Structure 1
Amino acid sequence: MSITKRGKLAGIGLQFFADPSYGADRLAEIEARLAAIPAELEKEGADLDALKTEVRNLKEERKRIVDAAETRKQILNDISSGGGTVVRTLPNQQEERKLTPDTEEYRSLWLRKLQGKELSDVEQRAYTNANGAIAVMTANAIMSVVRDHAPILSRMTVIYSAVNLTYYVEGTNNEAEDHTENASITAAADTLTKIQLVPAEIVKMIQVSEAAKLMSVPAFEAWLAKTLGEAIARKINSKCITALLGSAASAGTAIDTASVQALLGSVKGEITILCNRKTLYTKLLPLQDNSKSSIVRFDGGVAIVYGVEVMPDDNVPDDTVAAGDLSKLIGAMAEDVTVRQGYDIDTNSTKYLGVAVFDVKVGLASAFAKLTAGG
């Protein structure tokens, strides 16, 4: 067989699929040729290099034919067993498999859908297959804004759940005891406090004109995340502060040095002070006495009172200072914020509804106390 003829056989795998009998015939030819080559090697003047190359090419060709036969057999088995869809590789199907909610491509199409822009057939199918689920990256962007504007979330205990649940918080915790060797040991009378959490929707609706369609996708996402995220964070802050102050015991009705000392001494754990900015600057800051000791100091813009960090929150009423262990504040929250969209024909505008699911309860009332001037 000449080198020219061998060169024409490069596409043997594809030819085999069109005509399976061709592969069997060709295999017989290859085996016959391989069997004849040893005799040629013994002839005087045999071109050893050419025969060596031919043997290598024949073996590679034989392997391609055998591999093609195995592939064809597997495909036929898949089809006969209902698995034919496994090998369908049309471009649009490959693209749809990539357009899942956690991909950048889905993020783009989801935001464009929210803007009211047209999607391609492939994009619309991907959106439908995902039931219009919010893009993971967009949900993360909104939640990032929520956490930035609701820093209390990072200090409290949060269970990520959108359904009603019961959570147990440590109540009475007796100290460990000395033990006399071989003496009986009685279990400590520790207690648990049961907390019922019933997450409910927190919603924020915004309404914008058709100008939203003119935004670029990144600009639209940034605007959406900021607007919805900040509003939801403010509501979460408000609910947390309301729950905390509602259970905090009164430690006094004045905000002076002695009262603040008593307040901080009445609670245990990793203590944080909460008040609004007005109270911080008009009530706590005047306690500073540089001639005696540094009661109030600032570290990187964070106020520290008697070594305890102050977390300013404008949901705390004026002339109120609370303190306690924020880990005893228990929240339940859905993992993601969702966004819904609707068109308002009366105003030719689009409405966007941000929805978070959240509930908060105080797990241990004794973990919090407060000062309320004049209260």
Structure 2
Amino acid sequence: MKQNQSVLRGIGLQFFATPSARMGEIESRLAAIAQELEKDDADVDALERETRALKEERDTLKRSAERRRKLLEDIGSGRSGRVTRTFEDEGVESRTYGVDTPEYRSAWLRNLQGHELTVEERAAVTASAAIPTTTMNKIIARMELTPIIQAVDVTYIPGNVTYPIEKTVNGVSWVDMGTAATDSADALDAITLGAYKLIKTVEITADVMAMGIDAFETWLVARLGNKMSVAVAAAIAAGTGSNQATGLTKRGEITQTGTYTKAGMTYKDLMTILATLPTQYMANAKFAMPRAVFYSDLLGMTDSNGKPVVVADVQSPAKFNILGYPVILEDSFPKDNIVFGDLFEGYKFNFAMSPTVESDKSVAFRSGSTVYRVMALADGKPADKNGLCLFTRAGA
């Protein structure tokens, strides 16, 4: 048990090094902004937008770290991977390998490559087909690099999951002293996420067997992890809901809708989009849209004072803000669609079965190739629809 805990701590350090460094940068910059605000010539508007973007990024990093921490706890307690016992024979000590041990990882990857295994390695991977903890974490981390996946609420809960959501909620009322309050007729609704099959296969020539374990794992995570990311991002953006997740832009899912000028979005159109979202969701709101709309309609737009509405993120010039609200560019969004709102509260995506990886040589017997397959069971749907609005280009 102590060995498992030690390995988990090592995994945690490996995973949180980069986010932790970024958190430090954010805190340092926020402290610097506080000092800049004391200057008489400080650009308050620009500093306010930067502060909002930094705090949003900090909250996103915290949520991501919490999801990873919970997943690590599940793995360590055996809920996300069985502990496998090797053989016990004459003169050989009985040992136990968990999915979080280096021995299991090595045996699992060597088996996936098609190498001949020792008796001990064979016993380990035969008893459990669970993906090693470190490899799983790398695939998850790779998927979370995709902005639209990072922005929504992603969970890893086995089986079907039901989320309660607000349907009718009355406001808080003032009551005279000594007078009893009257119950309000609030109502809750719910969304249920099922388990749709998500599969990607990649055929690779026999020379992959010559790779070292670390190089093979890096290749595996990059190829299959990236493919899975693309599929999940496309489902979140435009899933049909038929044998797959329901996307943000599926007709009828988001009820707060509107249109913008056909010839090109105007500043007035942008103000309409901002005004559509209720104030309580504005603090964590983001724009999400296809790249074509951003570069053709929004980049270069100015406000009523001639100032650009799009500003590059000072911490990462490849990222942009629209009037201080982060922008997610995802080409899977249907043409001319723009979503604005609190994506984390507004969309739920659950992996009912975390990604698993298997190999098969029989399907490519003539070529001598190996087919690698990544498969997961997942589903997603818009949840708090009051926190999202959808705008499309007008037809005329």
In 2: Cα distance, 1:121 partner to 1:198 partner: 39
* Alignment match of 2:371 (pick from 351, 358, 367): 351
Match of 1:271 in 2: 285
Residues 212 and 220 of structure 1 are in contact (CA less than 8 Å); yes or no, is this contact kept in structure 2?
A: yes
Please state how far the C-alpha of 1:291 moved relative to its aligned partner: 5.1
Q: Does 1:132 align with 2:132?
A: no
In 1: Cα distance, 2:338 partner to 2:360 partner: 43
* Alignment match of 2:151 (pick from 145, 151, 155): 155
Match of 2:36 in 1: none
In 2: Cα distance, 1:193 partner to 1:175 partner: 17
Mark the CA change 1:174 to 1:90 in structure 2 (over 3 Å): closer, same or farther: farther
Counting matched residue pairs gives 284
Residues 143 and 149 of structure 2 are in contact (CA less than 8 Å); yes or no, is this contact kept in structure 1?
A: no
User: TM-score, normalized by length of structure 2?
Assistant: 0.67
Match of 1:337 in 2: 355
Unmatched segments (≥5 aa) in structure 2: 1-87, 239-246
Mark the CA change 1:190 to 1:159 in structure 2 (over 3 Å): closer, same or farther: farther
User: TM-score, normalized by length of structure 1?
Assistant: 0.71
Unmatched segments (≥5 aa) in structure 1: 1-87
Residues 138 and 221 of structure 2 are in contact (CA less than 8 Å); yes or no, is this contact kept in structure 1?
A: yes
Q: Does 1:253 align with 2:250?
A: no
In 1: Cα distance, 2:184 partner to 2:323 partner: 35
Please state how far the C-alpha of 1:114 moved relative to its aligned partner: 0.3
Match of 2:100 in 1: 102
Match of 2:202 in 1: 206
- Sequence identity of aligned pairs in percent? 26
Q: Does 1:369 align with 2:365?
A: no
Residues 162 and 357 of structure 1 are in contact (CA less than 8 Å); yes or no, is this contact kept in structure 2?
A: no
Aligned pairs (5 A) from 1:102-121: 102-121=100-119
Please state how far the C-alpha of 1:329 moved relative to its aligned partner: 0.6
Q: Secondary structure at the match of 2:359?
A: strand
Match of 2:93 in 1: 93
In 1: Cα distance, 2:193 partner to 2:217 partner: 32
Once the two structures are superposed, residues 331-350 of structure 1 have per-residue CA deviations (whole angstroms, 9 ceiling, x without a partner) of 22136310011113232111
Q: What is the identity, as a one-letter code, of the residue corresponding to 1:219?
A: A
Match of 2:139 in 1: 142
Aligned pairs (5 A) from 1:317-328: 317-326=334-343, 327-328=345-346
Q: Secondary structure at the match of 1:93?
A: coil
Please state how far the C-alpha of 1:164 moved relative to its aligned partner: 1.8
Match of 1:180 in 2: 176
Residues 204 and 231 of structure 1 are in contact (CA less than 8 Å); yes or no, is this contact kept in structure 2?
A: yes
Match of 1:78 in 2: none
In 2: Cα distance, 1:93 partner to 1:334 partner: 37
Residues 143 and 336 of structure 1 are in contact (CA less than 8 Å); yes or no, is this contact kept in structure 2?
A: no
Compare the two structures and name the one with the higher helix fraction: 1
In 2: Cα distance, 1:191 partner to 1:239 partner: 29
